Amino acid sequence: MTHYLRKNWLLGGLLVLTLAASGCEGRGQGNEEVKPVSGEVRTVRTARATAAASQENVEYVGTLSAFRKVRVASQIGGIIENISFEKGDHVRKGQLLGEVDTSTLELEVRQASAAVEVARSQYEKAERGSRPEEIALAEASLKEARAGFLNAERHFGRIARLYEIRAVSRKEYDAAEQGKVTASARVESARERLTLARQGPRAEDRKAFKAKLNQAAAALALAQDRFEKSRLQAPIAGIIAFRNVEKGEVVPPGAVLTEVVDLGRLKILFSASEKERGGLRKGTQCPFTVDAIPNARFTCRLTFLSPTADPLSRTFPVECLVDGTDSRMADGMTARVMVPGKREKGSIKVPSSWLSEENGRIGLFVVENGTAVFRKAALGAYYNERVEILSGLHEGDLVIIDAAGLKSGEPVKTE
């Protein structure tokens, strides 16, 4: 659109000059052919008309954006116990920014750690089996039970003989017999305890202790994870963009505390239509300007062309990476990127200052056989202070570049 506006401005200016000249020369001379004039031969400066291929730039208006912007949010809810940043602070990656319910979660970590130690002790004891002292104690208990059984057996023998001669009662006989049975049961119990002491815990018991240890370790890992998440750290190096909380506030899970902006690298975001996207190429280096930084020109490189269009605007997002950031640049500034367009076939283009007007017509003066001849020209697009000549001029024509005051047919000579 830029070259069409410039063309219209140029044509409008020439039309004003035409009307002014017509008013000075009188109404009857507007369409009359100018006859050759005689007199001194005027010396003029000339240049050859040449056709050259052109490449029209397309301007896109975009927005400067930090290469990376990361919002810092609390994954857990609780009380803000500590805030260690302010707006505009420069922070390094991993720097502590704040703490949310950290003291409570630290106690949970200690509790979970103690439970792990208890479970580990039980599991290791099961793995090691009984201690020698425990086995020796079980052996001593078995010896004691056997001695008790021998005493009970001898006592029962005496009572049985006495009972045969009716020297003791049936009650005493039954009591002695029961004592023998009880002593025998004690021996069997002591023998089982000794066997178990020598074998150690059963396989299923060891598995149970192992499972308890794993469960306690998982609880500790969960507590440590929550504790780490309560200590908010800078995910990248950059500048603090804002601060949304104060110490003592209660925040829910997911609450955004701040945003860290990395201005070390900048990119430009803009959108291209379906037709324009076909002419864009990744890696193309493009000049751009920033509205907030007048009289400065920068470069960027096209790095991303979205493969899908925005469903609302039906345009394709485009990103350019800035070649070397400037300290005056900031996130959100307006940038104007000049992307090279398609290269057109050769056409004659001349500086707009070469154009002249004669009898309400716009054209150029050329030298033919030592005479200035006016050629009416059809104008095309406007390219960086040069205008395209669609007709009226041929490649190789000798164009007069200082034609002010010339009349068609006036004799001239070149410098």
CATH H superfamily, domain 59-68+262-341: Efflux pump adaptor protein, beta barrel domain (2.40.30.170)
Q: How far apart, in whole angstroms, are the C-alpha atoms of residue 403 and residue 354?
A: 7
Say if CB 291 and CB 333 are below 8 A apart: yes
CATH of domain 70-100+230-258: 2.40.50.100
Instruction: Give the global pTM.
Output: 0.49
- Hey, do 70-100+230-258 and 110-222 end up sharing a CATH topology, with the first three levels equal? no
CATH H superfamily, domain 110-222: Helix hairpin bin (1.10.287.470)
Q: How far apart, in whole angstroms, are the C-alpha atoms of residue 303 and residue 73?
A: 30
Q: What does the pLDDT read at residue 152? A: 87
Domain ranges for the chain, please list them.
Answer: 2-56+345-414, 59-68+262-341, 70-100+230-258, 110-222
Q: How far apart, in whole angstroms, are the C-alpha atoms of residue 411 and residue 353?
A: 22
Q: What does the pLDDT read at residue 337? A: 93
- The single residue listed with the structure tokens 């469960």 is 215
Average pLDDT, the chain: 83
pLDDT by residue for the chain (415 residues), tens only, comes to: 444 434 443 444 443 333 334 333 333 333 344 444 455 789 999 999 888 655 567 889 999 999 889 999 998 889 999 999 999 899 999 999 999 999 989 999 999 999 999 988 888 777 665 566 677 787 788 888 888 889 888 988 888 888 888 888 888 888 988 988 998 898 888 888 777 666 666 667 778 888 999 999 999 999 999 999 999 999 999 999 999 889 999 999 999 999 999 888 999 999 988 888 888 889 999 999 999 999 999 999 999 999 999 998 889 999 999 998 888 999 999 999 998 765 555 678 889 889 999 888 999 999 999 999 999 999 887 766 788 888 889 889 999 999 888 888 899 988 7
CATH of domain 2-56+345-414: 2.40.420.20
Buried b / exposed e across 66-82, counting CB within 10 Å, b at 16+?
bbbebebebebebebbe
Say if CB 319 and CB 303 are below 8 A apart: yes
Cα torsion angle, 326, 327, 333, 334, sign? negative
